[in-house]
Structure 1
């Protein structure tokens, strides 16, 4: 008998002072049986870091990456079906990122695993011709602390200012400073 997904609910109060985005968001997450708490909450963090100011180009949604290899962890798709933003959590290989680049206007990766330096050293040369890809590293100790904040129902306050993210619930606060490993080539889009 196959294991079923576990449903988690997250209520986010977001104050992103860097992008001037404020609002409340309700997320329902179907956590795949093979997904860790840490990875699931990294998807929530990626949502908070990338939620658009409006839904003019579609909503940012949690996709079915663990169920469907043709989908990322999160994505923003407009009404015509064009993928605006493809977001991966973890350590995707260069072939997956090339595929994502061919489908989306922009691609963002958040790596949070202790082996990120090894993964990045093997990948960096392969992404030189990937102007749409942006790669961030999250300290593994911080992502593990975030993973400990899991509950079936969560209420988080997320504040983002000067590149630093504070995630708080009723008991804990985790400070996260994502490190940019590779920026998108913005000249491609101007």
Structure 2
């Protein structure tokens, strides 16, 4: 019998004073049996960076042609395509031809090598690549619970994610 996904829920409150964006989002995510808590929490950060009511989590580990998150307009056209991790550059290139905006939120010890080898990415004008520090991904795992209350504060470029038991400073580096 196949293992089933575990459901996680997060109430995410965002107060981004840098761009005057404020919102409350009720997120429901499935943790695939092969997925780590680290990746689950990175998906929450990816949502927070591009937060919008129309932004949705997808079945990316079940459906290989889908990203971690996407946003569609009212006609069903893709607007935003957001990958998490170090995706295949051909997949990102294909997405950049289909969407207005493509983003990659990369994490892990292989990010720098992956980005150096991804020469096609550097030619794509509508692609952003963000790198999360190892300290960040270690800290955000401490905030994970099956039901989470999370507060994200952004001020003067500093991101702080606060949970019930701990908080994490989020360190972003824009590679592209």
Q: Per the shorter chain, which TM-score range?
A: over 0.9
Secondary structure of the equivalent of 2:92? helix
Q: Which runs of 5+ in 2 are unaligned?
A: none
C-alpha distance in 2 between matches for 1:112 and 1:164: 18
Secondary structure at the residue paired with 2:140?
A: helix
Q: Deviations over 1:13-51 (max 9, x none)?
A: 110112211121111111111110000010001111101
Hey, what does 2:133 align to over in structure 1? Answer: 139
Task: Give 2:173's match in structure 1, choosing from 176, 179, 182.
Answer: 179
Aligned residues: CA RMSD = 1.1
Counterparts of 1:1-190 in structure 2, within 5 Å, are 1-52=1-52, 55=53, 59-123=54-118, 125-182=119-176
Cα distance, 1:60 vs structure 2? 0.5
Q: Give the 4+ runs in structure 1 shifted more than 4 A.
A: none
How many residue pairs match? The answer is 176
Q: Match of 1:43, SS?
A: helix
SS in 2 for 1:42: helix
Deviation at 1:112, TM superposition (A): 1.1
Give, in angstroms, the shift of residue 148 of structure 1.
2.3
